[in-house]
Amino acid sequence: MYRYFMISLLLITAVNGNAQQIYQTPAAFLEDVFAGQIPPVKKIWLTGKLKEQVTKILRHPPTSLRTRYWQQGSKSVWILSETGKEKPITVGIIINHNHIEKIKVLIFRESRGAEVRHSFFTRQFKDVQLSDNVELDKTIDGITGATLSVRALKKLATLALYLNQQIKS
């Protein structure tokens, strides 16, 4: 009996250790942002010089050839993912007039660093824009124990701002 209990406990621990935390689905995020009137999805192709700059921002080549976004007037919404330490973190980013209006962690899959989902961290991104050298124009304070998750969100914020500039051109 003890043996079955221990095997069950190990299986539960293994499953929970790999569980993802869905704080909001991408579809629900879009519904909230656009008050139920979601514009058609658009795509930006990551080729040529654009791919080179995206590679510099992410510090690795992009995982796909195109990125989807939604646009209504001066507002664009990007749902992007970047690996923290081992697993992707999915984030929704709202850009309005080339500034971040809001950033929200939608799905967190890492075993640590989930503190980046809290508003005390994400509100630092409000009104951030890109500097001339394609970096965030404001310092984002880190979180002890969540360094790689913080770095992933900073990369995604930079990427969304950069891609937003490209669709305006």
pLDDT digits (tens, 9 = 90+) for 11-52: 444 444 556 899 999 999 999 999 999 999 999 999 999 999
Residues paired with residue 67 on neighbouring β-strands, in sequence order: 44
At 77-97, the pLDDT tens digits run: 999 999 999 999 999 999 999
Let me know if residue 12 belongs to a domain.
no
At 95-113, the pLDDT tens digits run: 999 999 999 999 999 999 9
**Angle at CA 83, nearest 5°, toward 141 and 76?**
75
At 109-147, the pLDDT tens digits run: 999 999 999 999 999 999 999 999 999 999 999 999 999
CB-based contacts of 65: which residues, under 8 Å, 6+ apart? 45, 46, 47
Tally of structural domains, the chain: 1
Let me know if residue 66 belongs to a domain.
yes
Let me know if residue 108 belongs to a domain.
yes
pTM of the model: 0.87
- Expressed as residue numbers, the domain containing 130 is 21-168
User: Which two three-digit tokens encode residue 52?
Assistant: 């080179």
Residue 148: pLDDT over 50: yes
Which residue's structure tokens are 């690996």? 83
Let me know if residue 7 belongs to a domain.
no
Q: Are 143 and 117 in contact (CB under 8 A)?
A: no
Residue 1: pLDDT over 60: no
What's the confidence (pLDDT) of residue 78?
A: 98
What's the confidence (pLDDT) of residue 20?
A: 87
Let me know if residue 6 belongs to a domain.
no
Residue 154: which H helix or E strand, with range?
Answer: helix 147-168
